[in-house]
Amino acid sequence: MSGPRYERTRRQDQHLIGFECQACGWVSFPEEKRTCKRCGDAPAEMTEVQLQERGEIQTFVVQQYLPDDIETPQPVAIVDLPQAGEGEPARAYGLLTETDLEEIDVGTEVVARFRELFSDGERPINSFKFSVPREEKA
C-alpha cells in the first residue's frame, strides 16, 4: 500500500489543476512546484490554473507488448491540456482508452475520461485517460 503517493496530487489528478510559472508561463502538472522546469526560476511564483478536460495529441504510439495488467494494443500519447483561461497548455503523458490507431493522429483532439488507472492493493486509483469523443463511435 502506498497511500501517500496517490494522496499528494489527488486534487490535481482528479480536477486537472496545473501551476503556471509567473516568470515564463510554463505550466506544471500535476506537481505543485516551487521551481520552474523551463526557466529555472527559484523560488518561482507559481499560480494555480484550471486545465480543460480535453487534450490535443502531440505525438503517440500504440503499444503491443506490456505487462498483463495493461490491455494491448494500448495507445499512449503526449497530450497538451489547454488552460481554461489564457496561457500555455500543460504537456503530459496520456493513456488513451477505447480508441484505435485509425482514430488518432498528431493534432487529434481527445476528451478526458475519468477512469481507473490501476489499483493500490484493492483500492482503485482513478484519474484521467483520454479518448475520441463517445459520439464518434456511433
32, 26, 90, 80: which is closest to 56 by C-alpha?
80
Measured from the CB atom, is 45 or 98 closer to another protein? 98
In the numeric block, the cell 475520461 is attached to 113
Minimum Å distance from CB 25 to another protein?
9
Minimum Å distance from CB 45 to another protein?
18
Does residue 111 contact residue 129 with C-beta atoms inside 8 Å?
no
The alpha carbon of residue 47 and the mean position of all alpha carbons in its chain are separated, in whole angstroms, by 19
Would you state the cell numbers that stand for residue 57, as one nine-digit string?
495529441
Minimum Å distance from CB 17 to another protein?
11
Minimum Å distance from CB 41 to another protein?
13
Measured from the CB atom, is 5 or 34 closer to another protein? 5
CA dihedral 7, 9, 12, 13 (to 10 degrees): -70
Measured from the CB atom, is 42 or 66 closer to another protein? 66
The residues that touch another protein, with contacts defined as CB under 8 A, are: 2, 5-6, 9, 13-15, 26-27, 29-30, 37-38, 58-71, 73-74, 76-78, 88, 91-93, 95, 97-98, 101, 105-106, 113-120, 122-127, 129, 134-138
Does residue 128 contact residue 94 with C-beta atoms inside 8 Å?
yes
Minimum Å distance from CB 100 to another protein?
10
Measured from the CB atom, is 43 or 138 closer to another protein? 138
Does residue 90 contact residue 52 with C-beta atoms inside 8 Å?
no
